[in-house]
Chain A
Amino acid sequence: MTAAFLLTALFVLLFVGVPVAVSLGLASVLTMLLFGDQTLLSSSQKFFHTMQVYPLLAVPFFILAGTFMTTGGVARRMVAFANALVGHFRGGLAMAALLASAFFAAVSGSAPATVVAVGSVMIVGMVASGYTRNFAAGVICNAGTLGILIPPSLVMVVYGAITESSIGRLFIAGILPGIILTVVMMITVTVIARKQDMPRQERASFKVVVKTFREALWGLMLVVIILGGIYAGIFTPTEAAAVSAVYAFFIAVFVYRDISMPDVPKVLVEASKITVMLMFIIANAFMFAFLLTTEQIPQMASELIVGMGLPVWGFLLVLNVLLLITGNFMEPTSVVLILTPIVFPIAMEMGIDPTHLGVLMIVNMQIGLVTPPVGLNLFVTASVAKLSLEETIKASFPWLLVLLGVLVLITYVPWISLVVPNLLLD
């Protein structure tokens, strides 16, 4: 009864256009007042306490680092380096776009930001070299989803915070799936490029490769600092995030000089805006999760599912379908925040590794980002590529098969998500 009221209230509020954050909060508070024995005092405490959850401090810092990086010409330098590496293959610019997205994903924790950064440099160039605008948009839109898979990733921070599992471990777990997805997409480009006889660039001289590498290095060092620091046990992910933010500021203002000192407050305001938007959702989601726990709703769901005698592979299949559907209608953080408190205890009961579950959820969210009706990457790509939404959806569609293929691989081969963290951290 309680669960039914809570979920009904949540979805009614979402449907009438109440912001996601308020929908989560109001549904929880109302349910609590009507059925629970908690008071408004305890929900306010829970809300305030969210900002004192140490791992979540990484959210504002990573966003700030990402904002400095997105604003600066970091993406442009990464594109130049990627192009020097793979531009001479058939379909070289498309491959460079993929590679540059992977590089940029390693300094940004967000998928739409990756699309904006790489797309605004790359799409014009691809069209000028004879690629169709639609093909360019399809590549950029899907490659941009790497932003939440390759560390740092904001979705991983949120998942780690709400499940109280290690964020450092999740970051490191995202590396191999990220590389696999990049390689699979590059192979796909090669196949299409052969078939359609796409242009190639002149091979870059070794000198150019070195020069572009040295310019891109300042940006790429960011991920080295984050992962190296976490791996060596020097930083917590939160500290790594703060160091990245200061590093990104330093690079953007003093090394690359893309941002002048007087522009820095603007970057700060922009980053605050995104931080608040996310944290407002997260704080309300923590109230929601708190209510679920005190009402023992996950336990009930868990008993129900385990009682059905579903095998692990069957559970994973159902979970994927659930995540894909929800991911179609909501953006990644909200999906992870709403579903994780319910799904996590069941998965633990079934013996699924928390890190594997996290990676699996993220790959599902990547697909949600490129599928209508609510795919953030589609909207962003449409505006960057100057295409209509319908054209973007059509252009992005074939790549869905690639993502789905990788999802199946990630779901049923936990080894891919676990081998690197097991090797490095245990």
Chain B
Amino acid sequence: MRIVIDRLEEWLMAALLAFMTVLTFVQVVMRYVFNTGWLWSLEATTYSFAALVLIGMSYGVRTRTHIATDLFTRKLSEPLQRKVAILAILACLVYAALMLYGSVVLVDRLMTLGNDARDIPAPKWLLTITMPLGFVLLGYRLLEVGWQLFRHGTGGLASGQQHAPAVDEKSDHQGDNP
């Protein structure tokens, strides 16, 4: 089950990115070659983009790709380091909770207004629901990482340092982190 969910995240992110890219490319070709285009294309791209980022936030916690600095924590003693790391996770949880509250209010507001998106024939709240969902997932992954750190003292947030997070030995698909 876990493996399925983990794979699903990756599959979804890859699909969204491919969809956005192909759609924008096709739009360019249609406009300059055939002089037509789909009205909904841009909106579909931006909502996919939002979904990609929002789903990806929690994936980033799991794969430790978020950049953090360990310049100062690195110098602390090990038990103290662990306490600070748990503190950092708590800060992230506060963040996730506040953002979740804000996005629930946003979706609720959009439901009350009941507007459709500009070009896509779908209600706006439905397209925005990826945001509360994203922050719930973020909170869940943070709790998971925090619990593991608390119980077993392993893992932690982020890559732990600003060491090129995208560069890992086992794959050639090296990062593009500027």
Contact = CB atoms under 8 A, between A and B. Distances in A.
Contacts of A109: 176, 178
A17 B178 contact: no
Given A17-B69, A26-B91, A280 B178 contact: no
Contacts of B143: none
Contacts of A280: 53, 56-57, 60, 66
B84 A17 contact: yes
B176 A110 contact: yes
B167 A116 contact: yes
B20 to A, nearest CB: 7
Interface in A320-375: 329-334, 373-374
Interface residues of B, number: 72
Given A45-B106, A60-B52, A271-B17, A70 B173 contact: yes
A67 interface: yes
B13 interface: yes
B10 interface: yes
Interface in B58-76: 59-60, 63, 65-73
A318 B137 CA distance: 43
Given A44-B102, A70-B174, A269-B13, A376 B57 contact: no
Given A41-B109, A43-B102, A246-B25, 7 more contacts: A17-B157, A48-B128, A64-B21, A70-B174, A116-B174, A245-B21, A276-B52
A334 B162 CA distance: 11
B32 A270 contact: no
A330 B177 CA distance: 13
A39 B163 CA distance: 36
Interface string B93-106: 01100110111011
B46 A276 contact: no
A319 interface: no
Interface in A57-75: 57, 60-64, 66-67, 70-71
B8 interface: no
Nearest to B14: A268
A42 B17 CA distance: 27
B69 A57 contact: no
B133 interface: no
Contact of A19 (B46, B67, B94, B166): B67
Interface string B161-174: 01111110101111
A36 B128 CA distance: 25
A239 B98 contact: no
B92 to A, nearest CB: 5
A338 to B, nearest CB: 13
Interface of A: 13-22, 25-26, 29, 33, 39-41, 43-45, 47-48, 51-52, 54, 57, 60-64, 66-67, 70-71, 108-113, 116-117, 147-148, 153-155, 234-235, 238-239, 242-243, 245-246, 265-281, 283, 329-334, 373-374, 376, 379-380, 383
Contacts of A113: 174-177
A374 B162 contact: yes
Contacts of B45: 57
B176 A376 contact: no
B5 to A, nearest CB: 15
Given A17-B88, A26-B94, A44-B99, A277 B177 contact: yes
Interface string B31-67: 0100000000010011001101100110110010111
Given A44-B105, A153-B178, A51 B99 contact: no
B163 to A, nearest CB: 5
Contact of A47 (B49, B131, B178): B131
A281 B56 contact: no
B91 A16 contact: yes
Nearest to B101: A40
